[in-house]
Amino acid sequence: MEGGTTIDPQGGEAKRQDGRVPGRVPVLLPLPLAGPYDYAVPEGWDATPGTLVTAPLGGRTLAGVVWHGEADGGVAAAKLRPLSALLPAPPMTAPLMRFIDWVAHWTLSPPGAVLRMALSVPGALTPPPRRPGVMLGEGVDAASLPPSRARVAAVLAEAPVPWAASDLARAAGVGVGVIKAMRDAGLLIPALLPRDAERPDLSAGTPPLLSPAQAAAAASLRAAVVRGGSGATLLDGVTGSGKTEVYLEAVAEAVARGRQALVLLPEIALSAQVIARFRQRFGTDPFVWHSEVTGARRRDTWRAVAEGRAPIVVGARSALFLPFPDLGLIVVDEEHETAFKQEDGVAYHARDMALVRAHLTDIPAVLVSATPSLETLANVERGRHQRLHLPERHGSAGMPDVGVIDLRATPPARGHFIAPPLATAITETLARGEQALLFLNRRGFAPLTLCRACGHRFQCPNCTAWLVEHRYLRRLECHHCGHAEPVPPACPECGAEGSLTPVGPGVERIAAECRDRFEGVRIAEMSSDTIHGAAGAAHYATMIEKREVDLIIGTQLVAKGWHFPHLTLVGVVDADLGLAGGDLRAAERSFQVLHQVGGRAGRAEHAGRVLLQTWSPDHAVMRALVSGDVDRFVAEEMEERRAGGWPPFGRLAAIIVSSPDGAVADEAASALRATAPEGEGFRILGPAPAPLSILRGQHRRRLLLKASRGIDVQALLGDWLARTTVPRAARIDVDVDPVSFL
């Protein structure tokens, strides 16, 4: 925190030993303000750092946190507004406060904007109302009641505590109507239920018998948990090698010691199957946290975490900001996933910030991946992280056999996207009664629609992007802003009818082709358009496990987390897709995603096969996937990054200028260029129009700071932005360690 003055210039109040002025505290509010504001503490209130309070701001009253560090002292004591109330919630821990400051500093965000993520559930800041239940009325005699009512009375005589009506009905073996009738008759009286205060029992699950390599890795992680103290470990090994089983042992160790464990997953991997693994291992469901957890469930979960009743939390990146009082371990599964990067608002990378939170909490972190990011591998090389490696798949399952289909030699027929060798492989697989998966990371029917008569292309009115045809919904959609319009009967440009033509495939189009080509095939189309929430995913998983599906056609959504024993063939419709665009990590990311989706093949006793359709079979990514020589691919990528000074050997920060007015965006970008710092060890590239130069009606320009690792990027950026005056109608966003360059 900024150091305040030692004496209040107006009030002249004395400071205590800890640097805090009596009767005055800094309070951080969940708003994008420069820092905490001072408030007066009413006589007799205990407002130590971390206390959750409400405080007035303007005409409003807001929840906030009594912050650590010194009060600012700038406002005279007489003018200071008092705190409104102390909130009945557990105080924020010192490590979490330090973490919030740290994230704010790293991302150049106001600390209040980060606090907002930690206080994302205002309803949880007060204890939930106690739910109504019933108890036995005074003087009620079971013997005088008819049998079903007597059973209820007997249960209550044995356990004379408040019961929820549904629980009581179940315990007594009667319908809820009986309970209701007894209440109406005055035999049962209302009584409030106690609050949930129990930490669930996690001892009912079944630990697996680990292989020697798994057991060694698990022992090492358990030891790190027992030892405590910070330190990160990379746990890597091919898909199916038992990494999950191994890190669950570390989780078991943490919870056995009465501490809490946080497991971060990329949101799309929060499938029912993953949750089921936790249930199996611990006998009960973990607490789950992601954007779809809403309402009372969200409130209860936040509260359970804050009160230490949630031993295991499995969550998406935002779970990093939950108020664990006694965190003992953080696991980041699929650590290489770009979904861990938040792009909007506070632009943070959850994997990196997980390492920070673990460090500040002084606990171990485990990063898990079959295809670790170069960032993590570089940290292993530097000796910052330990590495545990699982060499082979568990049980009899071997690695799938990966081959390429050279589209130059065997192209698909016109208007088709499945080349003859892939079609043959699918036919053979289905004939054996096994399942196949076709992967194409593109939603909808076709990514572009054009008019054959005049060449008109359907573009989003708000974005520099084509509209994607969704044939089931009969509409054209922008995948960036959500704009949608019906597919018109004629070309809006030239009026020609029947002239609109789809260009290129999405999963819907692949499904249509397969329906035509493979008679009677039962297809499951899996994308965010067809799968809604965990229940939707579970529904598909069950269908596939029960073999009610022959062919799965899916986007990124099917690439990970799933385990389908009868799936033996994976076909990648367009293996080159991710290589287009040429962003820094295109090759790395393509390799990761294709390796991951290929890993879905042959996870049980049947051998798996992966076929990659590509126009460039000699590309390093294809060669690495076919040969399985991952180390060589990684070494080459590393060398290229090192030579170019790119991450993980150099640092990047993007500045994105946006405005509804293109000229204003240009003006702001030029202003930044004009004040750009100069010096050794860094360069500023741009401004240039962003690849998505118009997004949601905002004109966007980008500048990129490229620096060597020794440069204090935050200081440089902070100073630069402070020196620059940009038009008010322009908005400046900073993205430190950017993942997306759109």
In this structure, what are the phi and psi dihedrals at residue 714, rounded to the nearest 5 degrees? -65, -40
Contact region for Zn ion (CB under 5 A) — 87-95, 350-358, 457-465, 486-494? 457-465
**86-124 as b/e: b if 16+ CB within 10 A:** bbebbbbbebbbbbbbbbbebbbbbbbbbbbbbbebeeb
Q: Return d(Cα 657, Cα 480) in angstroms, integer.
A: 18
Contact (CB, 8 A) for 655 and 703: yes
Nearest partner of 328 among 245, 253, 387, 379, judged by Cα? 253
User: Could you tell which of ligand ADP, Zn ion, none binds residue 651, using a CB distance below 5 to 8 A set by kind?
Assistant: none
338 binds Zn ion (CB under 5 A): no
Which CB sits closer to ligand ADP, 594 or 654?
Answer: 594
Neighbour count for residue 232 (Cβ, 10 Å): 23
Residues 557-596, one symbol each (x = binds ligand ADP by CB under 6 A, - = not), give ------x---------------------------------
User: Could you tell which of Zn ion, ligand ADP, none binds residue 244, using a CB distance below 5 to 8 A set by kind?
Assistant: ligand ADP
User: Could you tell which of ligand ADP, Zn ion, none binds residue 371, using a CB distance below 5 to 8 A set by kind?
Assistant: none
480 binds Zn ion (CB under 5 A): yes
User: Could you tell which of Zn ion, ligand ADP, none binds residue 464, using a CB distance below 5 to 8 A set by kind?
Assistant: none
Contact region for ligand ADP (CB under 6 A) — 37-45, 168-176, 240-248, 611-619? 240-248
User: Could you tell which of Zn ion, ligand ADP, none binds residue 211, using a CB distance below 5 to 8 A set by kind?
Assistant: ligand ADP
72 binds ligand ADP (CB under 6 A): no
CB of 482 to Zn ion, least distance (A): 7
User: Could you tell which of Zn ion, ligand ADP, none binds residue 209, using a CB distance below 5 to 8 A set by kind?
Assistant: ligand ADP
Residues 245-284, one symbol each (x = binds ligand ADP by CB under 6 A, - = not), give x---------------------------------------
**691-706 as b/e: b if 16+ CB within 10 A:** ebbbbbebbbbbbbbb
Contact (CB, 8 A) for 401 and 607: yes
**Residue 240 Cα distances to 1, 107, 273, 334, 369, angstroms:** 46, 36, 14, 13, 11
CB of 485 to Zn ion, least distance (A): 11
End-to-end Cα distance, the chain: 34
35 binds ligand ADP (CB under 6 A): no
Q: Return d(Cα 28, Cα 56) in angstroms, integer.
A: 12
Q: Return d(Cα 186, Cα 209) in angstroms, integer.
A: 56
242 binds ligand ADP (CB under 6 A): yes
240 binds ligand ADP (CB under 6 A): yes
Contact region for ligand ADP (CB under 6 A) — 207-215, 219-227, 324-332, 703-711? 207-215
User: Could you tell which of Zn ion, ligand ADP, none binds residue 309, using a CB distance below 5 to 8 A set by kind?
Assistant: none
Which CB sits closer to ligand ADP, 207 or 420?
Answer: 207
463 binds Zn ion (CB under 5 A): yes
241 binds ligand ADP (CB under 6 A): yes
Contact (CB, 8 A) for 437 and 554: yes
Q: Return d(Cα 25, Cα 71) in angstroms, integer.
A: 5
Strands (E), 634-730: 650-659, 682-695, 698-708
478 binds Zn ion (CB under 5 A): yes
User: Could you tell which of Zn ion, ligand ADP, none binds residue 483, using a CB distance below 5 to 8 A set by kind?
Assistant: Zn ion
Which CB sits closer to Zn ion, 462 or 740?
Answer: 462
Residues 91-130, one symbol each (x = binds ligand ADP by CB under 6 A, - = not), give ----------------------------------------
Burial class (CB in 10 A: 0-12, 13-18, 19+), 243: buried
Q: β-strands 500-503, 448-451: how paired?
A: antiparallel
Helix, coil or strand: residue 607: coil
Angle ∠(58,64,68) on CA atoms, nearest 5:
120
483 binds Zn ion (CB under 5 A): yes
Which CB sits closer to Zn ion, 380 or 481?
Answer: 481
Q: Which member of 1, 481, 634, 638 binds Zn ion (CB under 5 A)?
A: 481
Q: Return d(Cα 411, Cα 406) in angstroms, integer.
A: 8
User: Could you tell which of ligand ADP, Zn ion, none binds residue 431, using a CB distance below 5 to 8 A set by kind?
Assistant: none
Which CB sits closer to ligand ADP, 182 or 377?
Answer: 377
CB of 237 to ligand ADP, least distance (A): 6
Which CB sits closer to Zn ion, 460 or 716?
Answer: 460
Contact (CB, 8 A) for 713 and 108: no
Q: Which member of 84, 220, 386, 462 binds Zn ion (CB under 5 A)?
A: 462
Contact region for Zn ion (CB under 5 A) — 205-213, 283-291, 384-392, 475-483? 475-483
237 binds ligand ADP (CB under 6 A): yes
CB of 339 to ligand ADP, least distance (A): 17
Q: Which member of 189, 210, 256, 512 binds ligand ADP (CB under 6 A)?
A: 210
CB of 206 to ligand ADP, least distance (A): 10
Count of residues that interact with Zn ion, criterion CB under 5 A: 7
394 binds ligand ADP (CB under 6 A): yes
Residue 477 pairs in a beta bridge with: 468, 484
Convert 340-360 into a string of H (helix), E (strand) and C (coil). Answer: HECCCCCCCEHHHHHHHHHHH
Residue 38 pairs in a beta bridge with: 26
CB of 596 to ligand ADP, least distance (A): 10
In this structure, what are the phi and psi dihedrals at residue 446, rounded to the nearest 5 degrees? -150, 140
* CB proximity list for 31: less than 8 A, separation 6 or greater: 57, 62, 110, 112, 113, 116
Which CB sits closer to ligand ADP, 209 or 431?
Answer: 209
Q: What does DSSP assign to residue 77?
A: G
Written as six digits, the tokens of 559 are 């690439």
Place of tokens 């495939």: 505
Q: What does DSSP assign to residue 368?
A: E
CA 28 to chain centre: 26
208 binds ligand ADP (CB under 6 A): yes
Which CB sits closer to ligand ADP, 143 or 209?
Answer: 209
- Chain positions 66 to 105 lying near Zn ion, rule: CB under 5 A, are none
Binding region for Zn ion (CB under 5 A): 460, 462-463, 478, 480-481, 483
Binding region for ligand ADP (CB under 6 A): 208-211, 214, 237, 239-245, 394, 563
